Structure 1
Amino acid sequence: MKNIVLIGFMGVGKGSIAREALKYSSYMTIDTDDIIESMENRKIKKIFEENGEEYFRKLEKRVAKWLETSVHDTLISTGGGFYKQTNLQKIGTIVLLDSPFDAIIKRLKEHPNAKRKLKKRPLLADLKKAKKLYDERRPQYLKLADIIIDVTEKSAQECAKELLKKVKKHG
């Protein structure tokens, strides 16, 4: 088994789907944002506020190098901008969790912890800017993906099962 790297826009459900997939596989799971928060001993939002996005991207680069050399048989959920790491293909099979922007925002707003979900994503503070970012990133996500899963209107369980089935087929 090699790693599975989940990419996609922030809020699309990478973490939820990864946790759900654990129930149906022998993969371990890790989240790049959680690793960065542990490294820095502070939340992503604080890192952005205190050091800016460029600093955060350097932290992602460190994590990407570590993933490539030290992590195996793991389902890796990534932050929305992690796809820019140049060694992504070396880390594992890249799976895009895809959904229209409006469906992502709707999903986040309808979540029981909606306020917290939105608050922890500093780049979603301005929805107009976030939509522009989505429009810039989506073609890049599509280009990188080995596998694409449309998560719109599907439960985390449905997505996790589809993910594992497609990864198995992909080899």
Structure 2
Amino acid sequence: MGVGKGSVAREVVKHSDYIAIDTDDLIESMENRKIKAIFEQEGEKYFRKLEKHIAKWLEKSVRNTLISTGGGFYKQENLKNIGTIVLLDSGFDAIIKRIKEHPNATKKLKKRPLLSDLKAARKLYEERRPEYLKLADVVIDVTNKSAKECAKELLKKVKKHV
């Protein structure tokens, strides 16, 4: 969260033949409601079922596509079957700084209720980061880099990996 997945994805699309999709966007379209509402109305367990459905569809149906995922998507059993896993990596403090310095900071913070409690957000980051690093085929350190720089590095590293 807050590492610039969307910005980097848009840059990758500009400089490659990839298209980009976001699993949270797919879920919101499928459910015709926002992720926040799904969590509030149905709970996390229901949301994770939706992610599992999306993961199965991605594995069967999607090729040559950059897929941005939500923070808990890494737990999907078929993740490695979907494609090359790229981690956009950054320290927690750098992520918070990046979000707060964004022109739409208020909107971005509102969209991320987990960040209303920075202590809990840091704990979640510290729990998940080792798992992300273990799963990643390619790691891009995004700290103090523009989306364009990250996209160029991503494309270079993915070509070497495939």
RMSD: 0.8
Moved over 6 A (4+): none
Choose the corresponding residue for 1:86, options 77, 90, 107.
77
The residue number in structure 1 matching 2:117 is 126
Residue number among 31, 48, 58 corresponding to 1:40 in the alignment: 31
Counterpart residue number, 1:60 = 51
> Could you tell me how far apart the structure 2 residues matched to 1:120 and 1:82 are?
18
Q: Deviations over 1:27-75 (max 9, x none)?
A: 0110001001101111111111111222111111110010000101100
Matched, 1:168 2:154: no
Tell me, which stretches of 5 or more residues in structure 2 are unaligned? none
Q: 1:98: which partner in 2? A: 89
In the alignment of these two chains, the number of paired residues is: 162
Identity %: 79
Mapped pair 1:158 → 2:149: yes
What TM-score, normalized to structure 1? 0.92
CA distance in 2, matches of 1:130, 1:121: 10
Q: Distance in 1 between the 2:151 and 2:129 partners?
A: 21
Residue in structure 1 matching 2:99, options 108, 111, 114: 108
Q: Distance in 1 between matches of 2:134 and 2:75?
A: 12
SS in 2 for 1:93: coil
| TM-score, normalisation: structure 2 | 0.97
Quick check: 1:48–1:122 contact (8 Å CA) kept in 2? no
Q: Structure 1: 5+ residue runs without aligned partners?
A: 1-9
SS in 2 for 1:75: strand
In the alignment, which residue of structure 2 is the partner of 1:72? 63
Shift of 1:88: 0.6
13-22 or 28-37, larger mean C-alpha shift: 13-22
Q: Secondary structure at the match of 2:144?
A: coil
Residue type of the alignment partner of 2:38: I
